[in-house]
Structure 1
Amino acid sequence: MKSQHAELIEQWRAAWPQALAVWSKFTRLRDPALCVSRVHAGKEGLTGSFAMIRLLDQSVVVDLPLVAELGLQDYGLEILAHEIGHHILAPGSAGDQFRLLARMRRALPTLEQHAPMVANLYTDLFINDRLQRQASLRMADIYRKLEQGKSQDSPASGKVWLLYMRIYENLWQLPRGDLGGAGMDDGADERLDTDAWLGARLIRVYANDWMLAAGRFATLLLPYLVEDTGALKGNDPSRYFHDTRDAARGCQTYGAQQIEDDEENGAIHPVHDKRISGLDDAEGELAEKAHRQGGGQLREPFELGDILKASGVDLSDHEIAISYYRERALPHLVRFPSRPAPETAEPQMEGLSPWEIGDPLDEIDWLQSVMQSPRPIPGVTTVRREYGREPARDIDNTPVDLDMYVDSSGSMPNPQQHTSFLALAGAVIALSALRAGSKVQVTLWSGKREVMRTPGFVRDEDMILGVLTGFFGGGTAFPIHCLRETYAVKRKRPTHILQISDSGITTMFDKDERGNSGWDISARAMEHGGAGGTMALNISTSWDQDGGGKWMQKIFGDLKRARDEQGWDIHAVAQFEDLLEFARLFSQRHYVKS
């Protein structure tokens, strides 16, 4: 058995350079991981399929025992060239894998869980068609081999697989049923033949723009998926071809937030695309027009999470939220501060003076002395250098630290499910502060004993964003003790206090658990912080003029007192979306040097 595996490994290693050359003589990838056991394949992350790719390290992994079991051991060149095609052609990168799955999911309502499988079949079509026609590889023989290897008691192939094989038969001009699926009734055959023709046309028409047609292909397969849920549980040969199921595991998650125009309008049936069907169809024209116009919407955090998990990215909802808000905040951050270099305090040469007998010998500048006379006479023609020192100017200002308190009560959205402009504004301000060299402390609060905070003032992005993207959704009670403990004594570095909340911020002025007045604690915090305080509140922009009910009059009265007596700078935002503009302006004012 070992010698058989050794022979197979040698055979497939010899096929690897040829497989690379199929795409280009300049193609470079690391050598494939040829696994000699299922245990070895499992350690590489390969289960179910006989091959897979990893976009993280641009690897190809092959389960040789399963290859031999399926009778495909002589197709090393074809299988390796196919896996290389996923790195070269489709999807090619983790970002394109995210974009592809987003389109597939949009076109598969209620069946989004099958998007990875449909995406895999879709990219395989482009790769295999190119390898079969342009490189003359035996891709069709692989499918024939799998069909011939089925036992008599194997369940019949599902309709999705039959349609998929019929598309290949159209692409390669093979007899109907040559790759499987013969013997269907005439009514089903007529419908399937029409859809197979549309699928083949789609692959040829969009061969150089495969991303655009992803939604169309998924829409084509959708009715077959609805009828074929039993076969999708693992009875079809398609289970052996899931080589991109976890392709993006471990990859960076950037690039999946944007909802692209062709994604929104691309989930149409191929028959309505005149480029495919040749029909002058109004719906297809409208879709093309919408594609040209442009969009630019962003996904919600839960939508991003679904796409990333479908790509094999193994992150929790909280970790995905951290990545989401970091990426959304980046375009709004202040530029990295540019500081001129201070003048050096190194000695500066100022001129020459005579070197006389009795001066240190190592001070003689022999070059200048010889230039004055080829025969140096000590004390007459010998000279030495004179140095002066110019002290450096201190041009660095002490950066202002940031102490941020963010409301996470029941009136606020959950940042891990839907876009929270409180969390986004906090991310913009905190990351801008870090760029300016400041330290940041973040406190997330809701009801009593519902407090999450960083371990003091830190410069760790993940730690800060981890607190900002947390969620309580409880009552409203400001953590007065946090403010009290932070400013029990005057801080060594100037610190600005920022509150992001709504009218519930006035609970900051209640008595704490020790009976201390919140007003006194707030005043001490402003004094010991030394850099002022700001409140960004979701309240009426005319709050200092509105009368309102008795309760609102008390709230607005407290805010006026905080502004007039303690110097709080109060910014009212009519809706949470306005917090993003506030965050941008706040960051520019506090963290960009004039």
Structure 2
Amino acid sequence: MTPTRFTSEDVAECWRDALALWDVRVQLSPPEPHVKFHPDASHAQEPLAYIDLVKRQVFVNFELLATMRATGSLTAVLAHEIGHHARFPHTLGWDAELRVQEQRLMPGLKQSLTNLFYDLQVNEVVGRTHAEDLCAVYRGFQRVQGGEMSPLFFFYLAIYEELWGLAPGDLVPATQLQPMEQRFPGVRAEARMFAQTFYALPNGKLQFLYFCSTFIRFIEKPADLEFSLPLGGDVSVPDVDDLDAAIHGSSRWDDALDDAEARGWLEPMSTHSREEDALDTIHRVTEHLPGKGGGTLRRALVSRHYRRLVDQHILKLPTTPSQPEPYLRTTPQAWEYGDDPSSIDWTLSVLSQGHLAAVSPLRRELEADLPPPSELGVPSVEIYLDTSGSMPAPERGLNAMTLAAQVLSASALRKKATVRGVVYSHHNPLVSPWMYDEETARDFLLSYIGGGTQFPFDLLDALSQERPDAMRIIISDSDFLWNIASEKDLEPVLASIRRSRLVVAVLALPDELRARTVLEPLLRERRFRLVLVRWPSDFGKAAADLAQALLEN
């Protein structure tokens, strides 16, 4: 059957009936035929129906509906789509909160269950009047897909059998009733209990926690979970803003988690589990995403996390506007014939001259608006960040040295300085161009190499010749002492220090005496400074104090 078997009048009538079921007005265009996402794919591999929120357009795969022998279910399918949009609007922010919680409750889950959750909400309402039409869709979906039904989908359909008073085997394959009961004893009773409990819960948070605690039993390998639904093309993936807000606002779920624990759905969670490190949560939420999209999203979320940490250390922010006026007007003077008409300040003329403004206007010249004196003389800052294996990758765990580099970078950029980053380990250091904004610098300084440590002294020499008088800051640990001790000729290092405005080594070291012994040749140079950090957790504060000492006037 082709889309032409559904006349425009048939579609319009089903659309009106679907809207009437919800008794709402929605800003959605009437349904249009689905155009294949992949021209070579069979229509059974394409979604049955979905809403394009950008175009605010509903699309229906009429060919698939006909193949499923469910053409009489068009009203129910459209009502399902409208329900997502009107009654259960899974906003991207709400969906992000659910994804964060499900990854904490079901770590490593490859595919999100949020669409199953939303469909359970929507179909309860649609099924009050169109249960049989929805059943026709699910039966047809099984015929098209073929193969053995997964435990997850079996339990999902068993819930509908209980909800709509159907006999066991009406929706799920009758041949799988006994084998599934053997694999999951009490599965039928659990489906009945779910249908009686889920819809009686007072809010969506409790519903979702109960949903996760129940469905996890039927997911044998979370890391391998892949499933498709006949009405499963509705949910868009939250963007970085939505996920960032959900990760850092998870405390809003504390009351619901307490209630779920009291009801016995969840094992009591420790304070540490409740307050799981944001970087761990970011990794879990993005790990299952396909291709490079997960890496890009993870990098953006990690960058947001480090920005929060940087802002905790830099308390004093610049007060200059982000778009300063390049010119200021001078003292007003009388405009005379022959003067530039564009210099007339008509607003001031009317306010001061009244009705004589047209006869005797005032003019004001423009002069350059120089930066405030407090911002003048801030040097360029070059940051050498050690990313050897002695510290964790900043995307997987809090890297204190990366945080220190970000604090120094942000401090300099907020003082209108330029910043260049050098991320090094054992070979092939990464060198940024001179950077002018925090986001670019923050992203670069999240780079990580790993492995052993070899400070790039030749690069220090070259860059100090390229831009003398820059301030250079080295962030490392005891490996830097080993690098210095291994250098046979320190003269190029000393020459680099002498060319620079200042070279500061910020090192994580408990032994000050050893550091001063190894670095004694450098410490004799008046442009070299040593800052020791006893514990890695002190790096952020040490960097903030250093930035204030070096950059504040």
TM range (shorter): 0.7 to 0.9
Alignment pair present for 1:414 and 2:393: yes
Q: 2:244 aligns with which of 250, 254, 272?
A: 254
Q: 1:197 aligns with which of 189, 192, 201?
A: 192
Instruction: Please give the per-residue CA displacement for 1:406-461, whole angstroms capped at 9, x wherever unaligned.
Output: 101221212243332322333343345434433221111111x331111x212365
Q: Alignment RMSD, CA only?
A: 4.9
What percent identity do the matched residue pairs reach? 19
Q: Could you say what secondary structure the match of 1:75 adopts?
A: helix
CA distance in 1, matches of 2:251, 2:391: 30
Alignment pair present for 1:348 and 2:331: yes
Whether the 8 Å CA contact 2:330–2:364 is kept in 1: the answer is yes
CA distance in 2, matches of 1:284, 1:252: 26
Q: 1:326 aligns with which of 298, 304, 307?
A: 304
Q: 1:538 aligns with which of 494, 501, 508?
A: 508
Whether the 8 Å CA contact 2:303–2:443 is kept in 1: the answer is no
Q: 1:22 to 1:443 in 2, by over 3 A?
A: farther
Instruction: Please give the per-residue CA displacement for 1:558-587, whole angstroms capped at 9, x wherever unaligned.
Output: 446545633444333333332233344455
Which amino acid counterpart does residue 536 of structure 1 have in structure 2? Answer: V
- Greater CA deviation, 7-16 or 406-415? 7-16
Q: 1:197 to 1:534 in 2, by over 3 A?
A: farther
Alignment pair present for 1:423 and 2:402: yes
The aligned runs of 1:280-429 (5 Å cut-off) are 295-300=274-279, 303-308=281-286, 310=288, 314-315=292-293, 317=295, 320-330=298-308, 332-333=310-311, 334=314, 337-339=318-320, 346=329, 348-350=331-333, 394-396=370-372, 397-398=375-376, 399-429=378-408
Post-superposition shift, 1:351? 6.4
Whether the 8 Å CA contact 2:425–2:453 is kept in 1: the answer is yes
Instruction: Please give the per-residue CA displacement for 1:110-146, whole angstroms capped at 9, x wherever unaligned.
Output: x722x42x3321221112223334xx4x145212443
Post-superposition shift, 1:200? 1.9
Alignment pair present for 1:520 and 2:494: yes
CA distance in 2, matches of 1:84, 1:4: 23
Whether the 8 Å CA contact 1:424–1:580 is kept in 2: the answer is yes
Q: Indicate the residue corresponding to 1:377 in structure 2.
A: none
Alignment pair present for 1:570 and 2:547: no
CA distance in 2, matches of 1:68, 1:50: 10
CA distance in 2, matches of 1:475, 1:229: 32
Post-superposition shift, 1:329? 1.4
CA distance in 2, matches of 1:153, 1:518: 70
The structure with the largest alpha-carbon Rg is: 1
Q: 2:212 aligns with which of 214, 218, 221?
A: 218
Q: 1:310 to 1:49 in 2, by over 3 A?
A: farther
Q: Indicate the residue corresponding to 1:380 in structure 2.
A: none
Post-superposition shift, 1:264? 8.8
Whether the 8 Å CA contact 1:36–1:64 is kept in 2: the answer is no
Whether the 8 Å CA contact 1:95–1:256 is kept in 2: the answer is yes
Whether the 8 Å CA contact 1:444–1:452 is kept in 2: the answer is yes
CA distance in 2, matches of 1:460, 1:126: 45
Post-superposition shift, 1:337? 2.4
Which amino acid counterpart does residue 502 of structure 1 have in structure 2? Answer: D
Whether the 8 Å CA contact 1:35–1:41 is kept in 2: the answer is no
CA distance in 2, matches of 1:12, 1:250: 37
Q: Could you say what secondary structure the match of 2:536 adopts?
A: coil
Whether the 8 Å CA contact 2:405–2:445 is kept in 1: the answer is yes
Q: Indicate the residue corresponding to 1:67 in structure 2.
A: 65
Q: 1:163 aligns with which of 152, 155, 162?
A: 155
CA distance in 1, matches of 2:474, 2:297: 24
Q: Indicate the residue corresponding to 1:112 in structure 2.
A: 109
- May I ask how many residue pairs the two structures share in their alignment? 530
Post-superposition shift, 1:74? 3.6
Q: 1:458 aligns with which of 435, 438, 446?
A: 435
Whether the 8 Å CA contact 1:351–1:387 is kept in 2: the answer is yes
Whether the 8 Å CA contact 1:216–1:269 is kept in 2: the answer is no
Q: 1:205 to 1:322 in 2, by over 3 A?
A: same
Q: Could you say what secondary structure the match of 1:308 adopts?
A: helix
Instruction: Please give the per-residue CA displacement for 1:182-225, whole angstroms capped at 9, x wherever unaligned.
Output: 573596698123311332244223352x2344343233123333
Q: Could you say what secondary structure the match of 2:465 adopts?
A: coil
CA distance in 2, matches of 1:559, 1:17: 81
Q: 1:466 to 1:200 in 2, by over 3 A?
A: same
Q: Could you say what secondary structure the match of 1:565 adopts?
A: coil
Q: Indicate the residue corresponding to 1:502 in structure 2.
A: 477
Q: Indicate the residue corresponding to 2:48 in structure 1.
A: 50
Instruction: Please give the per-residue CA displacement for 1:42-90, whole angstroms capped at 9, x wherever unaligned.
Output: 79x9945323456777765543322221133343343234234445566
CA distance in 1, matches of 2:422, 2:97: 35
Which amino acid counterpart does residue 494 of structure 2 have in structure 1? Answer: D
Q: Indicate the residue corresponding to 1:487 in structure 2.
A: 464
Q: Could you say what secondary structure the match of 1:419 adopts?
A: coil
Q: Indicate the residue corresponding to 1:278 in structure 2.
A: none
CA distance in 2, matches of 1:92, 1:153: 27
Q: Indicate the residue corresponding to 2:138 in structure 1.
A: 146
Post-superposition shift, 1:295? 4.8
Instruction: Please give the per-residue CA displacement for 1:379-408, whole angstroms capped at 9, x wherever unaligned.
Output: xxxx96787869666343334432111101
Q: Could you say what secondary structure the match of 1:327 adopts?
A: helix
Q: Could you state the TM-score of these two structures normalised by the residue count of structure 2?
A: 0.76
Q: 1:387 to 1:159 in 2, by over 3 A?
A: closer
CA distance in 1, matches of 2:267, 2:103: 23
Where structure 2 has 5 or more consecutive residues not aligned to the other structure, the ranges are none
CA distance in 1, matches of 2:482, 2:386: 11
Q: Could you say what secondary structure the match of 1:240 adopts?
A: coil
Which amino acid counterpart does residue 410 of structure 1 have in structure 2? Answer: G
Q: Indicate the residue corresponding to 1:76 in structure 2.
A: 74
Q: Could you say what secondary structure the match of 2:474 adopts?
A: strand
CA distance in 2, matches of 1:21, 1:484: 75
Q: Could you say what secondary structure the match of 2:245 adopts?
A: coil
Instruction: Please give the per-residue CA displacement for 1:474-523, whole angstroms capped at 9, x wherever unaligned.
Output: 222111122212221555xx64322221122236646879x562442342
Q: 1:242 aligns with which of 232, 239, 243?
A: 232
Q: 1:498 to 1:88 in 2, by over 3 A?
A: farther
Where structure 1 has 5 or more consecutive residues not aligned to the other structure, the ranges are 275-280, 375-382, 547-552
Whether the 8 Å CA contact 1:49–1:240 is kept in 2: the answer is yes
CA distance in 2, matches of 1:102, 1:177: 35
Q: 1:575 to 1:30 in 2, by over 3 A?
A: farther
Q: 1:472 to 1:190 in 2, by over 3 A?
A: closer
Whether the 8 Å CA contact 1:405–1:499 is kept in 2: the answer is yes
CA distance in 1, matches of 2:235, 2:436: 37
Q: Could you say what secondary structure the match of 1:441 adopts?
A: strand
CA distance in 1, matches of 2:400, 2:147: 52
Q: 1:107 to 1:320 in 2, by over 3 A?
A: closer
Whether the 8 Å CA contact 1:126–1:203 is kept in 2: the answer is no
Post-superposition shift, 1:327? 3.5
Alignment pair present for 1:443 and 2:419: no
CA distance in 1, matches of 2:495, 2:32: 63
Whether the 8 Å CA contact 1:107–1:267 is kept in 2: the answer is no
Q: 1:242 to 1:203 in 2, by over 3 A?
A: same
CA distance in 1, matches of 2:453, 2:340: 76
